[in-house]
């Protein structure tokens, strides 16, 4: 396979294309460019994210990854003889607003897109996905609810509808159904990764023979905590208790949660499932409680955080109290040649900026969408592009961002390719639209994340 060479000529071309890309994108203020989905020269793709509000960091990270990919594709001549143009919309961290903006974009002819930023917003657009009105790839939505677009009146009815829909999918026979594609793995895999790490034997003993789960009192955290409990019990280990956190909790309320965790029989570890700032506030309160009650928990007691810990907002808010905490999350910045090449291209567009957690999955989402359009020969047919997305991510011949021109050329030629992404392997499950990622464990040392262990996608089950 040929490799991209990063000489001065390519760098200049990428930087020039960055300027061109910026001129083809609407601002993230919510004012979309008034253009059709495709003109003689361009194909519009949407980028809908939470550019204002609590989740703006995710949206900004995704935006940089998207623009990096669009820049690179356009520098190589675009797709189907057209340049890609990005229509950016801000949903202001409102799930209902995200659905409204995505529906309006679809009505204007922009049916392919990247986003939305959050799982709650992604759930709002599932009816549009089900109707085949749109095809979106989210780099950051990971809730298990997104594995199926069917929504029944009850949980049991939803499960029945989803089982029936998945049974009808047969990619080999061309039988596919609408799905919300995602380039970050479902929380079902996150729960498994946490359970595997916590239950591993060290010097002949399990790390955590018993745990307490501390979770935020929202639907997202509840589902993840329940799946983690199931996984831990399947390993014949103990879940002592599940304790709720509330973002309205005062310091005293958070301390009461810490006291509940330490009740007899005390767990050997705790797993925290909450957003970054709430996780930080709890860790501060917990450590204060532990300093005053040294005998309440064992000397080797560990605090393990879900992906809320793997966030610079957590380390910034927790300050020194984050020291030695452990974070488990999908590893979207793997130590691979594909990621290192992406990082070089990214920094040609954004000098001095490091790619965040969602930049590489966003970059891969655009590359896969471009490749699927090239393979299917269309920028208008949702079913054709959907089939091509599955095909180019699960084939036999490896292709990657190491040579984007080669990847797009192979896709256009109809080759049986398997795209290896900057963020790692990306084999779309035709039944769910999801992927598996490598998951890693990081220890927090002086506000930096030090990778301590990794789990290959092949050993992590979401079932």
pLDDT bin (cut points 50, 70, 90) of residue 25 is low
| 1 within a domain of the structure (yes/no) | no
Query: Are 197 and 315 contained in the same domain?
Result: yes
| 264 within a domain of the structure (yes/no) | yes
Q: What is the CATH number of the domain that holds 226?
A: 3.40.50.2300
Q: Give the pLDDT score at 380.
A: 94
| CA distances to 64, 148, 154, 356, 414 from 179, in Å | 25, 7, 20, 26, 23
pLDDT, tens digit, for every residue of 438-451?
A: 999 999 999 999 99
Query: Are 271 and 208 contained in the same domain?
Result: yes
Domain that holds residue 25: 8-184+333-432
pLDDT, tens digit, for every residue of 221-270?
A: 999 999 999 999 999 999 999 999 988 888 889 999 999 999 999 999 99
pLDDT, tens digit, for every residue of 2-16?
A: 333 333 333 333 434
DSSP-based three-state secondary structure for 334: coil
- 80: Cβ contacts below 8 Å, ≥ 6 apart: 43, 373, 374, 377, 378, 379
pLDDT bin (cut points 50, 70, 90) of residue 99 is very high
Neighbours of 337 (CB within 10 A): 14
Query: Are 282 and 361 contained in the same domain?
Result: no
Query: Are 64 and 199 contained in the same domain?
Result: no
Helix (H) or strand (E) holding 121, with range, is helix 119-124
Percent of the chain residues topping a pLDDT of 90: 78
Neighbours of 121 (CB within 10 A): 27
pTM of the model: 0.90
Q: Give the pLDDT score at 37.
A: 63
Query: Are 366 and 410 contained in the same domain?
Result: yes
As a whole number of Å, the end-to-end CA separation of the chain is 35
| 203 within a domain of the structure (yes/no) | yes
Query: Are 276 and 378 contained in the same domain?
Result: no
Query: Are 123 and 244 contained in the same domain?
Result: no
Q: Domain tally for the chain? A: 2
Query: Are 110 and 157 contained in the same domain?
Result: yes
| 3 within a domain of the structure (yes/no) | no
Query: Are 311 and 399 contained in the same domain?
Result: no
């Amino acid at each position: 396979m040929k490799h991209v060479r990063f000489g001065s000529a390519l760098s200049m071309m990428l930087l020039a294309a960055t300027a061109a890309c910026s001129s083809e994108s609407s601002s993230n203020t919510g004012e979309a460019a008034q253009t059709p989905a495709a003109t003689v020269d361009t194909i519009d793709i949407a980028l809908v994210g939470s550019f204002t509000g609590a989740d703006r960091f995710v949206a900004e990270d995704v935006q940089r990854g998207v623009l990096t990919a669009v820049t690179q594709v356009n520098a190589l001549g675009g797709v189907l003889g057209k340049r890609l143009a990005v229509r950016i919309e801000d949903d202001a961290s409102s799930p209902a607003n995200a659905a409204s903006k995505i529906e309006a974009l679809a009505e204007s002819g922009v049916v392919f897109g990247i986003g939305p930023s959050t799982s709650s917003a992604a759930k709002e657009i599932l009816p549009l996905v089900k109707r085949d009105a749109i095809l979106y790839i989210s780099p950051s939505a990971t809730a298990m609810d997104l594995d199926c677009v069917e929504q029944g009146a009850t949980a049991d009815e939803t499960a029945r509808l989803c089982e029936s829909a998945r049974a009808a999918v047969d990619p080999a026979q061309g039988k596919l159904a609408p799905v919300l594609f995602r380039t970050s793995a479902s929380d079902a895999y996150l729960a498994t990764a946490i359970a595997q790490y916590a239950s591993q034997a060290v010097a002949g003993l399990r790390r955590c023979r018993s745990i307490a789960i501390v979770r935020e009192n929202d639907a997202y955290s509840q589902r993840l905590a329940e799946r983690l409990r199931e996984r831990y019990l399947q390993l014949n280990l103990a879940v002592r208790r599940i304790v709720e956190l509330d973002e309205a909790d005062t310091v005293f309320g958070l301390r009461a949660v810490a006291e509940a965790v330490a009740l007899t029989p005390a767990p050997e570890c705790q797993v925290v499932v909450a957003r970054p700032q709430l996780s930080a506030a709890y860790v501060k309160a917990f450590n204060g409680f532990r300093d005053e009650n040294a005998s309440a928990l064992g000397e080797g007691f560990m605090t393990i955080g879900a992906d809320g810990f793997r966030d610079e907002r957590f380390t910034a808010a927790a300050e020194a109290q984050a020291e030695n905490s452990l974070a488990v999350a999908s590893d979207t910045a793997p130590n691979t040649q594909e990621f290192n090449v992406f990082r070089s291209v990214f920094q040609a567009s954004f000098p001095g900026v490091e790619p965040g957690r969602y930049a590489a999955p966003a970059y891969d989402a655009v590359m896969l969408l471009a490749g699927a359009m090239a393979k299917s020969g269309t920028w208008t047919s949702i079913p054709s592009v959907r089939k091509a997305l599955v095909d180019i991510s699960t084939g036999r011949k490896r292709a990657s961002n190491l040579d984007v021109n080669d990847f797009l050329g192979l896709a256009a030629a109809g080759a049986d390719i398997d795209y290896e992404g900057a963020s790692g392997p990306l084999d779309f499950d035709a039944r769910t639209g999801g992927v598996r990622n490598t998951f890693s464990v990081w220890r927090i040392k002086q506000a930096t994340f030090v990778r301590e262990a990794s789990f290959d996608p092949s050993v992590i089950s979401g079932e």
